[in-house]
Amino acid sequence: MLVQLSCRSFRNLEELQWQPPAGCHLLIGPNGAGKTSLLEAIYLLATTRSFRSPRLAECGRQSFSKIELHYRPSIRCDPTGAAVLAQIEAVADRERQQRRPLLGPHRDEVELRWAGQPLRRTASAGERKAAGMILTAARGRVLEVSGKRPIYLLDDVDSELDEQRRAAASRLFSNARQVFLASSRPELWRQEKGVNRWLVERGALRPGQGRQ
């Protein structure tokens, strides 16, 4: 049983002295408020490990000022035709053995960093979800500039998001030609305008309450 939890400069938590009694404890708050950080602090106290980061130093309080995008191409050489071709040919045998491509744009890596730290380790689940939707919308904008009209498929779009961030995320796709959203929380969408509603039950699709 957790008798006392003391936190200082841990993630985004304020200095804390907490003596929770026995029983069930429900943590309620918006995305980024510190709910996951509090669970992480309890887990770290019990196991000396974090479930969000392999390095404990990353659990310290950070000054989150901006998000940076880091791009790491799988082909790391002078970006000329001959140099790129040479790298591709150098791994051709390994690709045939493994029966999968090892180089190319589909193998490039994009990493978001927040105050110099990987976003996947420092942000809450809701913040990571929101960042992913922002990237999806941005990619769609790039396609639209090239003359294409993307179709967006967003599964569990409202998971991990509070109402304010869910509404903000939805606005990212307000001008899209076609969007397909999946949700298990219909109560969050009752006031949403311009949405065709469909019900999926036991594999069957039928109209919902229509378009608002």
Total count of domains within the chain: 1
How confident is the model at residue 140, as a pLDDT? 92
Supply the pLDDT for residue 58. 73
127 alpha-carbon distance from chain centroid? 7
137 is in which domain, residue-wise? 124-212
Residue 96 lies in a domain: no
Residue 44 maps to a domain: no
Tens digit of pLDDT for each residue in 43-94? 888 898 888 878 787 777 766 567 788 888 888 777 667 788 888 888 889 8
Q: Return the pLDDT at 159.
A: 82
Q: CATH number, domain at 204? A: 3.40.50.300
Residue 25 belongs to some domain of the structure: no
The closest alpha carbon to 40, from 23, 16, 67, belongs to: 16
Structure tokens at 121: 């380790």
In a domain, 143, yes or no: yes
Dump pLDDT digits (tens) for 12-45. 888 889 998 887 888 887 777 788 888 988 988 8
With 90 as the cut, is the pLDDT of residue 137 above it?
Answer: yes
- CA contacts within 13 A on the Cβ side of 93: 1
Confirm whether 178 is domain-assigned: yes
In a domain, 159, yes or no: yes
- Per residue in 84-130, pLDDT (tens digit) is 888 888 888 988 999 988 888 888 888 888 777 788 877 778 888 88
| Count of CB atoms situated within 10 Å of the CB of 120 | 14
Residue 207 within any structural domain of the chain: yes
Regarding pTM above 0.75, the answer is no
Domain annotation covers residue 36:
no
35-44, 73-82, 144-153, 160-169: least confident range = 73-82
C-alpha 189/C-alpha 205 separation (Å) is 18
DSSP states along 112-137 = EEETTEEHHHHS-HHHHHHHHHHHHH
Q: How much is the CA Rg of the chain, to the nearest whole Å?
A: 22
